[in-house]
Amino acid sequence: MKRRVVVTGVGCVTPLGVSVPELWTNLTEGKSGVGETTLFDASNFPTKIAAEVRDWSIAAEDEDPEEWASRGRHTRFAAGAAKQAMTDSGVAGAVEPQRLGVYLGAGEGQQDFDAFSRMMVEALKGGEFDLGTFVRQGLDQLDPQLELEQEPNMPAGYLAAMFDAQGPNVNCLTACAASSQAIGEATEMIRRGAADAMLSGGAHSMIHPFGVTGFNLLTALSERNDDPKAASRPFDLDRDGFVLGEGASMVVLEEYEHAKRRGANIYGEIAGYGTTADAFRITDTHPEGRGATTCINMALADAGMTPEHIQYVNAHGTSTTVNDKVETLAIKQAFGDYAYKVPVSSTKSMTGHLIAAAGATELIVCLMAMKHNTAPPTINYTTPDPNCDLDYVPNAAREIPIATTLSNSFGFGGQNITLVATAV
C-alpha cells in the first residue's frame, strides 16, 4: 500500500497577500492584486499592467536584506514563503535531515537582465552590432554571481541550506504547471519511502522587459490597461489574455503517520495526482482537451474517486480565449453531467498568473476552501461565453460544504497536472 501524504504547513508571498490568511481574506472578498507595472518602465509596451508583489521585503521573514540583496527575486520570494510554511508545520527538528527534502517548480530569476539590456542598447547605438565587442563587454561588466542567481535551481539549493534538508533536492520547470508538478512528484517520493517530509511549491518572477516582450509577442497578455483590476476575467466572453504575476507559495508535505505521531496540524491530504502531455503544439492546448481530460481522470483514479466526490474545482483559468474554452471542455468530458453541478472558479482573476508559482498557490486555495467551507469567486465575470457554460462562482464567494477539491494546472509545452486534495 502506498503511504499517505498530508499537508502540515503552508506559506505564500503573492500579489494579493504575503501570508496565507491575508491571501485568503482578499480572495474571499473578491479583491484584485493587479495594477500598473512599476518594476520597469512599461509605457511603450502593449501591456502596461501586472500583478506585482508590493510592500514586502525579505526582512519581513527575519532575514537580513543585505545578505539577500544579490539573490534573485524568485529566490527571495521562495525563502519568504518557505519560512512561513516550515514555521507553520513545526516539522524542523521532528524529522531526520536526510529524510527531509525539497522539490520545487521554480523559474528563472531575471535579476541581472537590466544590465544585459543596457549593454544591448549600447551595442546597437550607431546602427551597427559587433558581436566580439558585445561579448567582451559582457565579460567585463556582468556580475557572475548575479548571473548564477538567475538559475531556476537556485531557490531549491538555498532552501535546503536554510532548513538543513539533506534529502532529495529537485527543481522542475514545466512552465505554468511547474509547482503543481513539483508537489505531485514530491508526494510520490514520500509515498514510495524516499523521504518522510518534503518542502514543495514554486517561485517565479517574469515581470521584466524580456518576460513581458515574450508574452506580448505570443499575444497571451491582456491589454486592458485602462482598467487593470478588471483585466483578468477568466471564462468571460470579453477576456483578452492573462495578467502576468509573480511570487511564491510553499507547502510542507509529510507522511501521514509521521505527522499524526507528532500531533501536527493537518490541512488536508494529497489524495490524487495526474500528469500528462498534450503532445500537440508548444503554445496551444489540444483543441479537444485530450491531455487535460486524461489528466483529470488520472488524478481521480489515483485518489480512488469518481467526479461526484469533488466539491470544488480550482481551474487553471488563465483568461485566455483558448485555455478557458478547452479547460471547460475537458472538465465536461471528465465529469459528464456532474460538470454542471460542481463549482469551478479561477482565482487568477484576482492574483494574476504566477506562472511557475501558480499551481502551489492554487493548491493552498483549495486547502483553505476546505478549512473554511467556502468557494472563492471568479471576479470580473460579466458576460457569459457560450463556450464556457459551467458554474464559475461569479463575483462573490460562496459558503458550501467542501471536503474534496481538484486543482488543474496546464503549462506551455503541453504539460497537464491535476491534484486532488481531501480533508482528513
Domain coordinates in residue numbering, the chain? 7-111+150-422, 113-146
Q: Contact 234/408 with Cβ under 8 angstroms? A: no
Predicted confidence at residue 125, as pLDDT, reads 63
Give percent of the chain above pLDDT 70: 92
* Residue for grid cell 501521514: 256
Query: Amino acid letter at 9?
Result: G
pLDDT at position 116 over 80: no
Among the ranges given (119-128, 240-249, 250-259, 300-309), the one the predictor scored with the smallest mean pLDDT: 119-128
DSSP per residue, 99-145 = GEEEEEEE----TTHHHHHHHHHHHHGGG---HHHHHHHHHHHS-HH
Q: Which whole number is the average pLDDT over 6-28?
A: 98
| Cell digits of residue 305 | 474517486
Predicted confidence at residue 128, as pLDDT, reads 65
Torsion of CA 192, 193, 196, 202, to 10 degrees: -40
Helix (H) or strand (E) holding 348: helix 348-351
Predicted confidence at residue 86, as pLDDT, reads 98
Torsion of CA 146, 149, 151, 153, to 10 degrees: 170
Q: Which whole number is the average pLDDT over 269-281?
A: 95
Give percent of the chain above pLDDT 90: 82
Q: Which whole number is the average pLDDT over 145-158?
A: 82
Catalytic positions, please?
176, 316, 353
- Residue 148: pLDDT band with limits 50, 70, 90: confident
Is 349 strand, coil or helix?
helix
User: Who has greater pLDDT, 123 or 90?
Assistant: 90
Predicted confidence at residue 322, as pLDDT, reads 94
Predicted confidence at residue 327, as pLDDT, reads 98
pLDDT at position 36 over 80: yes
7-111+150-422 belongs to which homologous superfamily?
Thiolase/Chalcone synthase (3.40.47.10)
DSSP β-bridge partners for residue 11: 250
Q: Which whole number is the average pLDDT over 12-33?
A: 98
Q: Contact 264/90 with Cβ under 8 angstroms? A: yes
Q: What is the pTM of this model?
A: 0.94
213-235 pLDDT, tens digit per residue, is 899 999 999 999 999 999 999 99
361-381 pLDDT, tens digit per residue, is 999 999 999 999 999 999 999
pLDDT at position 258 over 90: yes
Mean of per-residue pLDDT scores for the chain? 93
User: Who has greater pLDDT, 154 or 272?
Assistant: 272
pLDDT at position 252 over 60: yes
Among the ranges given (26-30, 69-73, 241-245, 288-292), the one the predictor scored with the smallest mean pLDDT: 69-73
The contacts of residue 320 (CB under 8 Å, 6+ apart) are 220, 239, 241, 242
| Cell digits of residue 8 | 502540515
Predicted confidence at residue 150, as pLDDT, reads 74
Predicted confidence at residue 270, as pLDDT, reads 98
| Cell digits of residue 133 | 565587442
Q: How far apart are CA 137 and CA 176, in angstroms?
A: 34
Q: How far apart are CA 271 and CA 5, in angstroms?
A: 8
| Cell digits of residue 160 | 535546503
Predicted confidence at residue 343, as pLDDT, reads 98
pLDDT at position 52 over 60: yes
pLDDT at position 294 over 80: yes
Q: Which whole number is the average pLDDT over 190-208?
A: 96
Predicted confidence at residue 164, as pLDDT, reads 98
